[in-house]
A and B are shown apart, each in its own frame.
Chain A
Amino acid sequence: MANIMVRKSADGGLSFYLPKRDIEDSIISIEFDTPEKWGGEIRLGNGGIYYIDPIPAPARLPISVRARRVDGVE
């Protein structure tokens, strides 16, 4: 588990940031993206896959959440 930050990038998409390792990347897909349920599996531009326990959609981005690395780069 690691603390990650999800923020809105300039192009309107989402971006992923892992503070400890300074990994910054675009999020290409997010499993759940509805007002009630947000999170799940997220896929990054670099091929990495992380899992965020689904929560109600955050009122505001950026948000720091706990995430688990499923696959790909650390």
Chain B
Amino acid sequence: MSELTREQAQALIEEVLEVYPEKAKKDRAKHLMVNDKEITQSKKCITSNRKSVPGVMTQRGCAYAGSKGVVWGPIKDIIDISHGPVGCGAYSRGGRRNYFSGTSGVDSFCDINFTSDFQEKDIVFGGDKKLAKLIDELEGLFPLSKGISVQSECPVGLIGDDIEAVAKKKAAEIGKVIVPVRCEGFRGVSQSLGHHIANDAVRDWIISNRDGKPFESTPYDVAILGDYNIGGDAWASRILLEEMGLRVVAQWSGDGTLTEMENTPNVKLNLLHCYRSMNYISRHMEEKYGIPWLEYNFFGPTKIKESLREIASHFDEKIQEGAERVIAKYTPAMDAIIAKYKPRLQGKKVMLYVGGLRPRHTVGAYEDLGMEVIGAGYEFAHNDDYDRTMKEMKDATLIYDDVTGYEFEEFVRQLKPDLIGSGIKEKYAFHKMGVPFRQLHSWDYSGPYHGFDGFAIFARDMDMTVNNPCWGMLKAPWLKDEAEGEQKAA
């Protein structure tokens, strides 16, 4: 399909909105826009971070998912208790494939589901006693854990349990950090508030634990924030930083540890990958400890090079040379990858609908491969995310916030992209429509995609998906015959 003009894109949005009742239509219209690079402030043309319209198919999660699943879950030596009924935890365990090095069940606990498994009597009589008992059991079974976090599910907030009191008492008893997190699912309109609450809990219970304690620092200390090591992403990023001469003190939170987090206030610069989920703690550290933070993008060689140079500009010549050395080292390999895949992917159109940072961060990587992003949207972004997205996207492309299942399908039907990048809930619907699809939340069981090494895998995966012969075989044989028959008749 040829490129849309602004008018055509606007007409498409209006056509799609036609099916809604008046009120829903008015509401949804505010969440859909045609990109206009002239506008620097997204709030003039898009509304975000609002409650989804009842009755539509939304892809959002809850605050508990944002806190436990995203921010806290990947910290490997902290045990996260899903406090409440068993279900919420069962569905948020390990699905994001946050890789870690360690021995599961001994010193690492990312892929185990710990829950207080509320029953009726806990709702009626309160669950505080059960929580205390659970912490004792954990201590007995997993003595090598470094800390515990209590992630409240909806019922805990509803019945008014005092998890803070239990956490304080037990922390004194066992001598470990115990963090109560008030991330009940009903708070906020999406997982986004869960990220915020999780950041606030880290701020209140962890970040200043080692203030004033000795720490052997170097002038080149940095921390990676907002990288969840999905499929090894943080590792692929970390080696680049280390190669250029920096020392990575902490990874937040993929493959991270409690100690690393406590040591973070000693770094010289915070490197922020996922702005949406960790800008809060970055801002806090900037104010309290005077640590500047920098957003970077490690998707695709163009952006990686830009980011490496920008990171290096905060340090002395040694690091700047290091950055150039790293860039020079990887450039031939990257050129080879582009030479191999670009001819196969050139001109292909992509639509994205993901979370935190990917709808804007991956644009550069697709462009490196000659592909073009014609539509992008977030499940739970705020306006500051859209401000950043509008700069990355071409003019007259579609931008959709909290897009509903129906809208997304309609857009795809009309725009006919060659590839869709979105989540597991959309995956099979689009597979059935015969559209190549990559699950971009956890890289479709692949990865890493960050860093130079990640780009090699990214390019291969995109080629494998777009150019897969299976897409042409999706039409049922009897339908095919009909179509061919008609052609013959005509």
A interface residue numbers (CB < 8 A to B)? 5, 7, 17, 19, 22-25, 45-46, 60, 62-64, 73
Cβ-defined contact, A19 with B287, below 8 A: no
Inter-chain contacts of B41 with A (CB < 8 A): 25, 45-46
Q: A46-B43, A73-B43 are in contact. Are A19 and B286 (CB under 8 A)?
A: no
For A19, A45, A60, the residue with the greatest tally of chain B CB atoms inside 10 Å of its CB is A19
Distance of B279 from chain A, by nearest CB (Å): 8
Cβ-defined contact, B383 with A22, below 8 A: yes
Indicate if B283 sits at the interface (CB-CB under 8 A): yes
Knowing that A23-B383, A73-B43 touch, tell me 5 more A-B residue pairs with CB under 8 angstroms. A5-B283, A19-B283, A25-B41, A45-B41, A46-B43
Q: A22-B49, A22-B382, A45-B41 are in contact. Are A64 and B280 (CB under 8 A)?
A: no
Inter-chain contacts of B49 with A (CB < 8 A): 22
Cβ-defined contact, A60 with B290, below 8 A: yes
Inter-chain contacts of A24 with B (CB < 8 A): 384, 387
Inter-chain contacts of B384 with A (CB < 8 A): 22-24
B interface residue numbers (CB < 8 A to A)? 41, 43, 49, 280, 283, 286-287, 290, 382-384, 387
Inter-chain contacts of A5 with B (CB < 8 A): 283, 287
Which residue of B has the minimal Cβ distance to A7? B286
Inter-chain contacts of A45 with B (CB < 8 A): 41
Q: A22-B49, A45-B41, A46-B41 are in contact. Are A62 and B283 (CB under 8 A)?
A: yes
Which residue of B has the minimal Cβ distance to A47? B41
Inter-chain contacts of A62 with B (CB < 8 A): 283, 286-287
Cβ-defined contact, A63 with B43, below 8 A: no
Provide the bound-state CA to CA distance between A62 and B382, in Å: 22
Inter-chain contacts of B290 with A (CB < 8 A): 60
Provide the bound-state CA to CA distance between A62 and B387, in Å: 21
Distance of B339 from chain A, by nearest CB (Å): 35
Inter-chain contacts of B43 with A (CB < 8 A): 46, 73
A–B complex contacts, Cβ < 8 Å, 13 sampled: A5-B283, A7-B283, A7-B286, A7-B287, A19-B283, A22-B49, A22-B384, A23-B383, A23-B384, A24-B387, A45-B41, A46-B43, A60-B290
Provide the bound-state CA to CA distance between A5 and B285, in Å: 12
Inter-chain contacts of B286 with A (CB < 8 A): 7, 62
Provide the bound-state CA to CA distance between A73 and B383, in Å: 13
Cβ-defined contact, B287 with A63, below 8 A: yes
Provide the bound-state CA to CA distance between A5 and B284, in Å: 10
Distance of A14 from chain B, by nearest CB (Å): 14
